[in-house]
């Protein structure tokens, strides 16, 4: 029994690390632009399909597709940043509708180009099990866990120690004040989009090598990233990490003790619980006494 | 005002009488119109939630699906009459919205996503709860509309009349609410909820009421669709299309108006089915996504209003 | 009628209100003064329901207000204006009052509405769009009118005079006197203008760093050494 739980925890943490990359990207963009990019999951999907194309058409090892994924996804996010910036009125509502439209285009684009079939990596090396005592994982899971940790660490360092990162945090905290300090919000927003794109590219490749992909995955990932940000509460990067791990572990425990079909439901129940009991999130700042 | 109501009445009567006469023979077109009106009704419910409730939803498919299944199950397993099933579809959808109440305190974009998450989850529940919903295989042979007063409503024309009646009723309800004291308070809430609260408005309750109303309307349409199509499965009933098409329709037709969403649905759906689908059988929704994006950038108040304004017209 | 006892409010590390006890009797006019940041608006927020108190009790007409949400308190008779006017933009002046009457007082009374508009001097602007057609003075008048329309028995006025020049101040001071005479309600008013407060209020309470440091007739209060110190650091105020 404890073996099962330990395995579930282990797998959950590994999966959670990929979720963290996705959720962080969403949170960064929300922080600087105050918009939720409803197409974010589709960006991850795009990266995943690029990995697929590189592997199936060019015979490349999936990890080598990452540079291509980064380029394509960053171009997509730059375009998104550009069009969202052109919205003049009702910014909150219209940006939601616009990114929703972009998401629809990307999902259907994926459907058009790659059809609805389920795809996954054929690389045997990536799928080989790695055994750590009683715990088992695929090589790809462990590999991308390490990659995620490195990326998140780098992001943390970048946000706290570089001027660009500080500018981003300043804009997220108080846009007008940041402008008064000479920070160009548009540039900062572009940077946040690019960073989100970078993280998404890695996450997409990870998902391709770890699981299966199909066009409908885009929305599913956006929903998960959203659930994580609610779990985390606003303005908390460590919270996003913890939320991502929590979601990963919850899904994994559900798969082990119930069924894999219910794992999405598990995330939802978690989401509802937090919403009912602690709406500011598990790690969010509690403002005032209300 | 009197003149407007009279001309509206004439138009509605014409819709009842003339459309079946003009199109009755062409079953394909009739089914397009019925589908377009269904989408139009959802678009109206969506716009109502946005305009009056100040809430944007990206998951109306949730309400549609719940309504579909509720009616199908009650009629087939509990022997309810279809009319009661339609109402029950609405009620169950509204009840499912209760789960969304905590999401009301989330800020705008978060609420929109929350509803999307709910739609996602309801679909999974419908797929997994096999004993109740038939699982992924769905429910087949859902009873058709019956014979009432000698007329068989199970055909296309019958369905057309039923859905037209539903949509007309919704238009009337929307109008009544918008012009009531509550409508006034709801409009005021957009600026500052706190300012309305200190003068005694229970803003949370009003928003919740709009959510329930919007859910109810969409649920009724879902129930209608179940008995019209006679078949249900989770991927169909909770399909993202029931969310996306109404949104594009409402934006196209002008979501700030009452009839705009319905008119927008007629145009958008018919063009999508008759033109886009011919050009691009798979993934034709890409054009819809692009259309939505283009409208947001260039005509956020809707394309129909923009076009009509050029000709000096205005509509409700 | 209003009875705060031992109310404390904390925002993170900041004690915005510290063990404040204050009573306002029916029909009384009480001034609330203190330096910026003393907690005056927070006190209003506690009474109107925007902010919850950590400790202490809050009673209105003997009934506990704490479990009631803001709108319920408004219906009970707690009226409140905001320092920065918050009109209902998309509505006209009349519609603003209609909403306040319908939901705050429970029924619409056109005669009473017209009287309020007349009293605050907005009769001529009844059909005007609140968002675009009003000057600052008129917006403040609307703020007061809205609160009156709910039929309050206690009116919380948050710095209605701020930003007004001498003429506007005189006008509003007269208005407040007229309101009190006509409706006989209790008024709790936050103001910085000591002269106005002394004229208008038979009783003044002073807050400093969240604590109530004085409570009594203006003549006494403004000579109280703690009050003087909080305003000037040292010395006396010649009232």
Contact A265 B103 (CB under 8 A): no
Number of domains making up chain A = 1
Domains in chain C (CATH in brackets) are 1-77+153-239 (3.40.50.300), 85-151 (no CATH)
**Interatomic CA distance for residues A255 and A268, integer angstroms:** 14
CA–CA dist B163, B35 (Å, integer): 9
Give per-residue pLDDT as tens, C95-127.
Answer: 999 999 999 888 888 898 999 988 888 888 888
pLDDT at C211 over 90: no
Q: What is the mean pLDDT of residues A270-285?
A: 74
What pLDDT is recorded for position B218? 97
pLDDT score recorded for residue A235: 60
pLDDT at B36: 95
* B75, pLDDT greater than 50: yes
Look at residue B264 in the predicted model and tell me its pLDDT: 92
Using the 3D structure, point to which of B179, B205, B239 is the last residue of a domain: B239
Residue at A192 is within a domain: yes
Write down how long chain B is.
316
* Number of CB pairs, chain A paired with chain B, less than 8 A apart: 122
pLDDT at A83 over 50: yes
Predicted ipTM of the assembly: 0.85
* B141 or B307, higher pLDDT: B141
HSE of C43, CA atoms in CB hemisphere, 13 A? 35
Is residue B32, in this structure, part of any structural domain at all?
no
d(CA A266, nearest CA chain C) in Å: 34
B131, B148: one domain: yes
Q: Are residues B196 and B306 in the same domain?
A: no
Q: Cα dist. C63→B32, C4, C47, C76, C135 in Å? A: 61, 12, 13, 10, 39
Residue A257 within a domain: no
Q: Out of A93, A101, A272, whose CB is closest to B293?
A: A101
**Residue B69 pLDDT > 50:** yes
Range of the domain at B46: 38-239
Distance separating alpha carbons of residues B84 and B81, to the nearest angstrom: 5
Tokens of A286: 């509690």
Is residue A102 within 8 angstroms of chain B, CB to CB? yes
Residue B266: CB partners within 8 Å, gap ≥ 6? B33, B36, B37, B40
Per-residue pLDDT at A220 exceeds 80: yes
Instruction: Tell me whether residues B198 and C48 touch, CB distance under 8 A.
Output: yes
Contact between B181 and C88 under an 8 Å Cβ cutoff? The reply is: no
B225 shares its domain with B263: no
Is B179 in the C-facing interface, judged by CB distances under 8 Å? no
Q: Which residues of B119-131 are buried (b: 16+ CB within 10 A; e: fewer)?
A: bbbbbbbbbbeee
Residue B217, pLDDT > 90, answer yes
* B15 bridge partner residues: none
- Looking at chain C, which subunits does it touch, using at least 3 CB pairs closer than 8 Å as the criterion? A, B
Q: Are strands B231-232 and B151-152 parallel, antiparallel or unpaired?
A: unpaired
Q: Which residues of C touch A287 (CB under 8 A)?
A: 11
Length of chain C: 239
Q: Which of A217-231, B98-112, C196-210 has the lowest mean pLDDT?
A: B98-112
What residues of A are in contact with residue C50 (Cβ under 8 Å)? 290
| pLDDT at residue B13 greater than cutoff 80 | yes
| Same-domain status, B94 and B133 | yes
Cβ–Cβ under 8 Å, residues C71 and B170: no
Query: Which residues form the domain of A142?
Result: 20-238
Percent of chain C with pLDDT over 90: 17
Are B262 and B231 part of one and the same domain?
no
Whether the CB of A235 is below 8 Å from some CB of chain C: the reply is no
Residue B285 and residue A108: Cβ atoms within 8 Å?
yes
SS (H, E, C) B246-304: HHHHHHHHCCCCCCHHHHHHHHHHHHHHHHHHHHCCCCCHHHHHHHHHHHHHHCCCCHH
Looking at the DSSP assignment, which residues form a beta bridge with residue C15? C10
Query: Residues 6 or more apart from C103 whose CB is under 8 A from it?
Result: B181, B185, B196, B199, B200, B201, B202, C71, C74, C75, C150
Instruction: Return the number of other C-beta atoms located less than 10 Å from residue A164's C-beta.
Output: 12
Does C87 lie at the interface with B, CB-CB under 8 angstroms? yes
Is pLDDT above 90 for B45? yes
Is there a single domain that holds both residue B167 and residue B277?
no
In a domain, A276, yes or no: no
Per-residue pLDDT at A4 exceeds 50:
yes
Residues 256-285 of A with CB under 8 A from B: 261-262, 264-265, 268, 271-272, 275-276, 279
Indicate if B106 and B155 belong to the same structural domain. Answer: yes
- In this structure, the answer to whether residues B255 and B268 fall within a common structural domain is yes
| Contact assignment for A105 to B240 by CB distance below 8 Å | no
Number of domains, chain B = 2
Element counts in chain A: helices (H) and strands (E): 12, 2
The average confidence (pLDDT) of chain A is 84
Q: What angle do CA C102, C108, C111 make, to 5 degrees?
A: 140
- pTM listed for this prediction: 0.88
Per-residue pLDDT reduced to its tens digit, B159-170: 899 999 999 999
Contact C18, C191 (CB under 8 A): no
pLDDT at B140 over 70: yes
* Cα distances (angstroms) measured from residue C118 to each of C111, C121, C178: 11, 5, 12
Could you say which of B239, B264, B296 is where a domain stops?
B239
**Residue A128, in any domain of the structure:** yes
Q: How far is CA B93 from CA A268, B68, B169, B211, C28, in A?
A: 18, 9, 18, 10, 52
- Which residues from chain C sit within 8 angstroms of residue A290, using beta carbons? 50-52
Chain B residues near residue C49 by CB distance under 8 angstroms: 197
The answer to whether residue B188 is domain-embedded is yes
Identify whether the C-beta of residue C215 lies closer than 8 Å to the C-beta of residue C203: yes
pLDDT of residue A236: 67
Residue B143 belongs to a domain? yes
Which pLDDT value is given to residue C161? 82
Do the Cβ atoms of A96 and B112 come within 8 Å?
yes
Distance CA A49, CA A45 (A): 6
**Pair A208, A68: CB distance under 8 Å:** no
Asked, for residue B275, whether it belongs to a domain, the answer is: yes
Most B-contacting residue of A46, A81, A104, A251 (CB-CB within 10 A), to test interface:
A104
Phi, psi of A120 (to 5 degrees): -155, 170
Q: What is the mean pLDDT of residues B239-262?
A: 91
- Per the domain annotation, does A55 fall within a domain? yes
Please report whether residue A288 resides in a domain.
no
Q: Which residues of B touch C74 (CB under 8 A)?
A: 197-200
Per the CB < 8 Å rule, is A288 touching C53?
Answer: no
């Amino acid at each position: 029994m404890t073996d099962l739980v330990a395995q579930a925890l282990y797998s959950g943490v590994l999966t959670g690390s990929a979720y963290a990359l996705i959720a962080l990207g969403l949170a960064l963009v929300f922080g600087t632009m105050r918009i939720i990019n409803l197409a974010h999951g589709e960006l991850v999907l795009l990266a995943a399909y690029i990995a697929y194309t590189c592997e199936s058409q060019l015979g490349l090892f999936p990890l080598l597709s990452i540079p291509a994924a980064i380029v394509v996804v960053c171009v997509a996010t730059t375009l998104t940043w550009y069009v969202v910036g052109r919205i003049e009125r009702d910014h909150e509502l219209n940006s939601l509708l616009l990114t929703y439209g972009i998401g629809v285009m990307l999902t259907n684009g994926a459907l058009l180009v790659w059809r609805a079939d389920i795809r996954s990596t054929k690389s045997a090396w990536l799928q080989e099990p790695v055994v750590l005592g009683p715990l088992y994982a695929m090589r790809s899971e462990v590999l991308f866990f390490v990659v995620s940790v490195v990326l998140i660490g780098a992001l943390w360092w970048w946000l706290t120690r570089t001027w660009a990162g500080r500018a981003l945090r300043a804009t997220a905290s108080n846009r007008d004040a940041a402008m008064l300090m000479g920070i160009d919000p548009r540039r900062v927003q572009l940077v946040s989009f690019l960073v989100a794109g970078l993280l998404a590219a890695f996450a997409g490749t990870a998902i391709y090598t770890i699981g299966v992909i199909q066009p409908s995955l885009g929305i599913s990932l956006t929903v998960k990233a959203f659930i994580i940000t609610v779990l985390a509460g606003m303005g908390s990067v460590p919270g996003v990490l913890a939320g991502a791990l929590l979601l990963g572990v919850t899904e994994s425990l559900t798969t082990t003790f119930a069924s894999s079909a219910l794992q999405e439901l598990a995330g939802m129940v978690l989401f509802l619980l937090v919403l009912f009991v602690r709406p500011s999130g598990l790690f969010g700042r509690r403002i005032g006494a209300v | 005002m009197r003149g407007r109501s009279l001309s509206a009445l004439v138009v509605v009567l014409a819709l009842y009488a003339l459309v079946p006469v003009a199109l009755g023979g062409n079953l394909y077109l009739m089914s397009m119109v019925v589908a377009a009106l269904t989408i139009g009704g959802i678009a109206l419910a969506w716009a109502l939630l946005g305009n009056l409730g100040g809430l944007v939803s990206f998951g109306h498919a949730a309400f549609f699906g719940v309504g579909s299944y509720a009616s199908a199950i009650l009629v087939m397993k509990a022997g309810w009459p279809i009319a009661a099933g339609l109402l029950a579809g609405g009620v169950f959808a509204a009840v499912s919205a209760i789960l969304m109440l905590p999401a009301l305190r989330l800020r705008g974009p978060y609420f929109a996503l929350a509803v999307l998450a709910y739609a996602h989850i309801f679909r999974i529940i419908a797929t997994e709860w096999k004993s109740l919903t038939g699982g992924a295989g769905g429910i087949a042979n859902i009873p058709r509309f019956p014979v009432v007063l000698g007329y068989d409503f199970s055909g296309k024309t019958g369905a057309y009349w039923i859905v037209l009646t539903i949509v007309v009723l919704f238009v009337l309800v929307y109008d009544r609410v918008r012009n009531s004291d509550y409508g006034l308070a709801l409009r005021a809430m957009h600026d500052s909820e706190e300012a309305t609260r200190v003068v005694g408005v229970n803003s949370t309750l009003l928003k919740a009421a709009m959510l329930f109303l919007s859910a109810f309307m969409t649920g009724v349409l879902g129930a209608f669709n179940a008995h019209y199509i006679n078949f249900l499965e989770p991927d169909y009933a909770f399909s993202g299309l029931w969310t996306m098409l109404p949104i594009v329709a409402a934006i196209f037709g002008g979501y700030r108006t009452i009839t705009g969403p319905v008119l927008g649905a007629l145009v958008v759906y018919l063009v999508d089915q008759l033109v886009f689908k011919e050009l691009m059988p798979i993934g034709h929704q890409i054009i819809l996504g692009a259309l939505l994006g283009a409208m947001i950038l260039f005509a956020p108040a809707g394309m129909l209003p923009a076009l009509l304004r050029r000709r000096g017209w205005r509509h409700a | 009628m209003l009875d705060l006892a031992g109310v404390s409010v904390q925002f993170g590390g900041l004690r915005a209100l510290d063990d404040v006890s204050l009573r306002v009797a029916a029909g009384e006019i009480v001034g609330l003064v203190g330096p910026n940041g003393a907690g005056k608006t927070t006190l209003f927020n506690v009474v109107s329901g925007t902010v919850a108190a950590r400790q202490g009790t809050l009673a209105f007409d003997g009934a506990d207000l704490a479990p009631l949400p803001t709108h319920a308190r408004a219906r009970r008779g707690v009226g409140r204006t905001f320092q920065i006017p918050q009109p209902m933009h998309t509505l006209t002046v009349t519609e603003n009052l209609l909403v306040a009457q319908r939901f705050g007082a429970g029924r619409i009374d056109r005669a009473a509405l017209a009287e309020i508009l007349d009293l605050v001097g907005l009769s001529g602007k009844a059909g005007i769009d609140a968002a675009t057609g009003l000057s600052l003075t008129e917006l403040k008048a609307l703020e007061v009118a809205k609160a009156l329309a709910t039929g309050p028995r206690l009116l919380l006025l948050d710095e209605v005079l701020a930003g007004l020049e001498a003429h506007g101040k005189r006008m509003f001071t007269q208005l407040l006197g007229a309101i009190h005479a006509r409706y006989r309600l209790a008024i709790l008013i936050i103001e910085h203008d000591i002269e106005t407060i002394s004229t208008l209020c038979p009783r003044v309470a002073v807050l400093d760093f969240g604590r109530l440091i004085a409570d009594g007739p203006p003549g006494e209060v403004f000579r109280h050494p703690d009050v003087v110190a909080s305003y000037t650091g040292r010395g006396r105020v010649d009232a």
